[in-house]
Every structure is written in C-alpha cells, then in structure tokens.
Amino acid sequence: MVDGRLTLDEFSERVGLALQARTRGELNMAMSDLPTVAAPQEEAGRRRARRWFVAFMSGSSAKGRWRLSGKTTAVAVMGGCDMDLRYAEIDGPEVVITAFAFWGGINIIVPEGIDVELEGISIMGGRNLRLRDVPIVPGSPRIRVRGFAIMGGIDVKSRGPRKGRELGQTIVDHVLGAVDSLPSLAVAPGEPIDLAALRRDITAQFRSQRQGSQRHGQRDQGQRDQGQRDQEQRDQGQRDRGTGPDRRRDRGERIRADMPGADQPEPPRAGEGTVTILFSDMVNYAGMTERLGDQMSRELLRDHHRIVRDLLSDHGGREVKVQGDGFMMAFGGVARALRCAVAMQQAFYAYSDAHQDHPIQIHIGIHTGEAMEEDDDFLGHTVIVASRLADVALPGEVLVSSLSAQLVERTGEFSFVDYREATLKGLTRPQKVATLLWDSTS
C-alpha cells in the first residue's frame, strides 16, 4: 500500500480477508493476486501526488485512482472541493490535509475502518466528522484533517466501496424486498456477512418463488379469466346506466389532482432532474455559543436538529447534508418544500415562546430547478441559488425564488408578498424573489 500498488479500499479488503483466514490456504488466497512489484525504472512513471486543491467560485475534485502523499492543501472560496480517498494511493503512514473553507465547502470521503482526526477552528461555519462505527483496520494510515471553516463547511465522512453499496442496494430494492427475510443477513453490526450463505439464501428464495408461481399459476389464471368475465358484465351494465368506469376515472383524476402533494414525486436519486432545494440555518448560532457556552448551545443545536428532521420526515423530504447549524434538503415538489418550511417556522416560533431565555430562530431559502446528483449530494446552479437565498433571508423569513412561487401560485394554498430583486453573493444577475407568508397561530 505504501508503494502505491494497493489503494486504501483494496488494503482494507485484504486485511479483512487475512483476519478471517483460519488456514494457510485461506491466507494465501488473500495474497495470491497482489499486484507485482514495480521495477525501479518504472518509478519515474508513477502518477504525481496532488498537493493543492483550489476552488474559487468553482469546483475542484479528485476521484478514482489518484495519489496522495505527505501534506495536501485544499482551499474553497465560494466554491467546493471534493476529495474521495477510497481508491487513492497513499504514501506513508500519515497524510495531513489542511482545509480552508471560506463561503464554500470541502467534502472528504475516506474508506470505512481508517483512522481519521479532524481538528481546527470554525468561525460562523461548521466542521463535521461522520465515521461509521467499525474497528480500525490494523496497519492502515492515519488521515489528519486540519480544518478552518469561516462561514463555510468542512465535512469528513466514511463510506464503503461504491460498487458494493450499489450492488447491495440493488439486491435490497429489486430482488429481496425485506432485508430481514434472509437469515444470512441477520448479523451483528460490524461483523462480516457470510457470502456463501447469502448466495444459498438468495437461490432458495428464487426457487421457492418459482415453485410457488408454477403451483398457483393455473389456479390464478382461472380466477383472472372468471374475474375478467364478471368485470365485462358489470361494465356493460354501468355503460347502460351512464355511470361507467370512464366517468369514475375522470372524477377520480380530478380528486387526486386537488389532493395536497398528490402529484409530487420523490426527490431524484441519481443523475439529473428537477428538484426543489431548501436551505435552513439558525440565526446567530455563533453568538449563541459565545453567550450560553458550548454545552448549552450544543443542547439547543440538538433540539434544532430533532425538530427539523421530524418535520422533514413528515413532509416527504430528504436530508442531503448538515453543516453545523445548517440543513440542506431536497423535495420532489415545490408544495412539499413550502409546507415543510412553514411547519419549521411555526415549530421554532412555538419553541421560542416556551424557551424565552434561549429562543431559536431560523431563516430559509428555497429554489427549484435542474440539479445533478453525485455521491448522495446535489450540485449545480439550483443549489447555489437556494443557499444564497437562505443567506439573505431575515430571521423567521422563508425567501422563495419567483420560479418556485409561480409553480404553486394557482393552487391558492400559499401566499407571497414583497416581490423584489435580490443581489446574491457570487452571482452576477439579481434573482427575483418573494417572501412566503406563514401564520404563527396555525
């Protein structure tokens, strides 16, 4: 691994095989297909280690197989840096990443089981370390992140191999249905899954389903034929009375169209698509921390996160990321996002009324448009506009782009005031916006 012939992810996988080995033959299998040692003359042809990541009102990223050695610096000024270390070549026992985020974001992804340290300071920004609770891989290098977030965010998180996650999700979503239905998956957290037993369980489930289908196929076909004959007779009678299925279908479609959220799809999960992005932030959380102290402000932050997540679940939204006191959320429709925003403002109004010594206020920005999803995150102009709207929104205000407002104005469910043009940081053209009205007594 130190020579660059194995990535962090490959190293972690082979260490797991070695630790599970019970015989010399099993141990040899973990080493049988190791890459050959490069000849000395090939050393000059190795890829160069990246020393700098700079994103000034733009983006900078490194994914796949790239080389990291010694010390690396990442600077994001009103932009974003993405560093995926899962397939990176690591030189040496320790790597130090110095990250500066000023009105920007830096995302660092590490393999599961790697020792990571996050240190530094945050000024009106946030630093987050989210690692899966798994044992540290013996002999793995240490990743030290020295983060300095000034009105920005630095996010360090661990993930398993992308191919493995995609395969597992495909099995769960399209083949197995319920995970608990397979005994081979009923293992304690962190323990390895018996792949041979999993294969046997899947094969047995397919065989059982196929036999069941063959056994009941003839009976089901007979029931379908009889049901079809009965339905034809009923339809003929309804047509004679003028109450056929066509009229019921038209009426049903009108009723469903009037139901709140009935035509709202789920947020996009991959690729590109239209999505409504909502950003929310606590008002003056830095001043609150200075005034109340770390412990009390942390308790308020937990209350804030709990309220937001409960309401997000109730309104069918998706939590994309959290940076300190700020949330980024995605919705499949504008109406859902607006209802959630109103519910959030009402909830924090009630919370502040009950906790007048330390109230919580938030400001919200919402925008709708095309966005690209990559690695469980949304990217693009739509995300930037929603974030900037939240930045300029007043305490207790829900600031909505005019496009989002126009998409729901004919429903009569929402009211907007103060239509205006707002100048957003980093964007050359003013953005037409409006304020969503909400009632604190609802």
Position 385 scores a pLDDT of 92
* Amino acid making up residue 342: V
- Which among 416, 274, 267, 284 is positioned nearest to 342, based on CA atoms? 416
How many percent of the chain have pLDDT more than 70?
Answer: 69
Residues 6+ apart with CB under 8 A from 389: 279, 365, 366, 367, 399, 400, 401, 422, 424, 431, 433
Q: Is the pTM of this model over 0.95?
A: no
Determine the Cα–Cα distance for residues 136 and 330; give it in Å rounded to an integer: 33
Tell me the per-residue pLDDT of 35-64, one tens digit each, with 9 for 90 and over.
665 444 444 455 677 788 888 887 888 877
- Give the dihedral sign, CA 427/428/434/435: positive
Distance between CA 273 and CA 332 in Å, rounded? 10
The reported pLDDT for the residue numbered 44 is 47
**What is the model's pLDDT at position 228?**
60
Closest CA to 360 of 418, 411, 309, 285: 285
The pLDDT tens digits for 394-435 are 999 999 999 999 888 888 889 999 899 988 888 888 889 999
User: pLDDT averaged over the chain?
Assistant: 75
Whether pLDDT at 264 is above 50: no
DSSP state, residue 116: E
Residue 275 β-bridge partners: 369
Nearest to 8 by CA among 66, 48, 47, 59: 66
What are the φ/ψ torsions at residue 159 (nearest 5 degrees)?
Answer: -145, 155
Q: Which residue has the higher pLDDT, 157 or 246?
A: 157
Number of Cβ within a 10 Å radius of residue 15 = 17
- What single DSSP character describes residue 45? G
* Position with higher pLDDT, 219 vs 311: 311
Tokens for 232, please give them: 């034809």
**How buried is 124 (Cβ within 10 angstroms: 0-12 exposed, 13-18 middle, 19+ buried)?**
middle
CB atoms inside a 10 Å sphere around CB 304: 22
Question: Residue 211 above 60 pLDDT?
Answer: no
Report whether pLDDT(357) > 70: yes
Q: Which two tokens stand for residue 301?
A: 């932050």
Ordered by where they begin, the domains of the chain are: 8-162 (no CATH), 232-263 (no CATH), 271-436 (3.30.70.1230)
Q: Which residues are within 8 A (CB) of 333 and not within 5 positions of it... i.e. 6 or more apart?
A: 261, 263, 264, 265, 276
The backbone torsions φ and ψ at residue 6, rounded to the nearest 5 degrees and listed phi first, read -125, 140
Q: Which two tokens stand for residue 94?
A: 């320790």
Residue with tokens 């007594």: 441
Rg (CA), the chain: 27
> In which band, very low, low, confident or very high, does the pLDDT at 261 lie, cut at 50, 70 and 90?
very low
- What pLDDT sits at residue 178? 40
Determine how β-strand 362-374 pairs with β-strand 271-282: antiparallel
- Structure-token match 């089981």, residue found: 113
Tokens 């940081």 correspond to 425
Tokens 């990559």 correspond to 374
